[in-house]
Amino acid sequence: MSFMLHIISMNKPNCSSFMRIYLTILFSMLLLAEVGAQNNNSPYSINGIGDIEDGFLNRTTGLSSTGIAYRNNRYIITNNPASLSALDDQFFAGELGITGDYINYSGQPVSAAYSTSGDITFKRFTFGTKLFKHWGSAVGLTPFSTENYEFSNLQALGYGGNAIPSYNEGFGGINKVYWSNAYEFFHHLSIGITSSYLFGSINSKNILQGPAGSAIYLSKNDNTFYSNFYFNYGLQYYTALGKHWDITIGLVYANQGTLNTDHTITVLNIDSVAVRTKETVGTFNIPPDYGAGIAITHNKKYTFLADYRYQSWGQLHSNTSSYAYQNSQRASVGFEISKKKTAFNQLFETSFLQTGLYYSQSYLIVNGKSINDMGVTVGFGVNSMRSPLSCNVILQYGVRGTTDNDLIKEGYIGASFIFSYRDFWYTKGRKFD
């Protein structure tokens, strides 16, 4: 019996390698900063801290972000930080995510001229590697929440029943820069932690202006800056069930977080002169978050997944009558087919196909109605043995909100693209026999 030994020589990255990585990070940051502000009009983001990003733009997006128990050796999975211990040794990976959405609005408050919107947004940049044999790590930047709305209405003046035109606008959001780590114990248990820093401003503007020639004009600018550290934790237990089945059980938890707030209100007159300015400092609490998931794989090819997440927002109290808080929930299921081939006596994934379903109850009650979201996703990805680049394409359709009680329903179609770069990192050689 004969065999062939293949040796691939590799060295630590040189200066040009570091420069390429640095330029990639810098370019991606600029794209996130410039394009991230072009979000769709989101009517419900006027409340609370905006729309909380409850999905993860990564390999699990085609599975409706069902990933608490998902493990992958090639892609950076942060739904559960414990997943990072599954990354291949001696490899570096970087991922960039972009999403395009088209939204159709319906309901009594919606005018025909403004019933649709669309945008393209960069939503995620991350890179990760195995620091040691059992220790996986990743850092990244992603939105935590977003606010973007614009509408006009009539606002009452005093108790006389008179009303004048009012223009309202909101924009901004909270960003999350994070460092996730996972360590594997006994080849069956992984424990992870994500340390994040949340920061960002949420701005709103309200302009009251009387008829032409009227001296009535007031502009109220409301700006709140949020910042503080935030931590969440994860655990995964994985094992084989006979020769053909594998199972993973995952748990995630985030303790209550407290964001420091710096709130400034400025009122301007028709000459843009400030007639009143008020600044206050305070805090905003993010309640505890819990989640559980399961993944079952048959013959390393077919994977069935299910997740459930719960966050106790109901313990918070709103300081306005326009909305109230409730406990948020999200349930999702996913199914994946992974096509693999053998190379150098190892399994190599060449492509994968995914689909998923999700249903979520948001943390808001508006006009006595819960704002719920449901939809379906389909994903497809290709990996190349000749190139370090991979691409993942995801299509999404969903419905959010309701037209009851003078509210707005959003029907949306989305397309997401995830670009991944993966190469050898800090190693003197890797042998295959």
The yes-or-no verdict on residue 113 having pLDDT over 70 is yes
Does some domain include residue 1?
no
Asked if residue 385 belongs to a domain, the reply is yes
Q: Can you give the length of the chain in residues?
A: 433
Arithmetic mean of pLDDT, 96-103: 92
Does any domain span residue 81? yes
Q: Between 402 and 31, where is the model more confident?
A: 402
Predicted confidence band at 48 (pLDDT cuts at 50, 70, 90)?
confident
Query: Is residue 378 one of the residues assigned to a domain?
Result: yes
Write down the mean pLDDT value for the chain. Answer: 85
Residue at 321 is within a domain: yes
Q: What is the tens place of the pLDDT at every residue in 161-207?
A: 677 788 888 899 999 999 999 999 998 999 999 999 999 999 998 88
pLDDT digits over 20-35, tens only?
A: 554 455 444 444 444 4
pLDDT of residue 23: 47
Residue span of the structural domain in which 234 resides: 6-432
Within-domain flag for 274: yes
What CATH number does residue 79 fall under? 2.40.160.60
Instruction: Please check whether residue 192 lies inside any domain of the structure.
Output: yes
Residue 401 covered by a domain: yes
Q: Quick one: average pLDDT of 32-61? A: 73
Q: Is the pLDDT of residue 208 over 60?
A: yes
How many structural domains does the chain have? 1
Which pLDDT value is given to residue 35?
42
